[in-house]
Amino acid sequence: MDVASKDRLRAVDLAATVGISVQQVRNYVELGVLPPVRRTASGYRIFTGEHARALTVARRLAEGHGWSRTREIMAAVHTGDLPAALAALDGGHAELDRERAEIRRVLGAFETVLASPPAARPAPRHGARIGEVAALVGVRTSQLRLWEERELLRPRRTPGTNYRVYDEAELRAAQVIALLRRGAYPFEIIAAVLGELRTTGSAQRVRAELARREQELHTRSLRRLRGSAALHDYLRGRGDAG
């Protein structure tokens, strides 16, 4: 059935609704972000209100899920593969859940670090040898070597003898690792904690930064929720929402 003239949109009008170029509209059609288009006898594309709605939904989805996943979701919808679209959508929400859990675990690790007592004594001014560090931290030297192999510790080496020497920062890092391992934290969490400490230099500042990231995660979660709601309305309008 022909589309009534009053329901037709020009590509330039469709592009203007969300502030993109006509070429982007064409790209979205090719990628499946927009529904397939019909053409006039002379070859012009026929856009309708459905394309405008799809474009609005895609932009809302992209705010929360990013364009890569949005293309996947919308293309699945427009090829009739609703299970694939829902799986992609669920994957996005699951990613946020994993990221939130990771932040909370790292925050918990920092709370453990902040609550820990200071070192019994600082490293010597010239640095401490591996045996001294092991005694200060309360672990075997083999543990320190293992942590170095995992790139958690970075002792310098003395010229000629190649002995390991730990400065104050590396002694503190060894103490943090030992503390978190006693708390059963996995190495990937410990690596994240040490990376933040080495970058920021202050456990308190790192804790504040992680709290800020957690708040940003809440914002992203709300954006994804709005995108999911817009998609549901779009599916319902197409008769695909059950």
* Digit-coded pLDDT (tens) for 9-34: 888 888 888 888 999 999 999 999 99
Cβ atoms of residues 65 and 145 within 8 Å: no
Which position has the higher pLDDT, 138 or 43?
138
Instruction: For residue 102, name the pLDDT band (cuts at 50, 70, 90).
Output: confident
Segment 91-99 long-range contacts (CB within 8 Å, at least 24 positions apart): 92/64, 92/65, 92/224, 93/221, 93/224, 93/228, 96/217, 96/220, 96/221, 96/224, 99/217
Say how far apart CA 8 and CA 68 lie, in whole Å.
29
- Structure confidence by residue, pLDDT tens digits, 41-90: 888 888 988 999 999 999 999 999 999 999 999 999 999 999 999 999 99
> pTM of the predicted model, to two decimals?
0.65
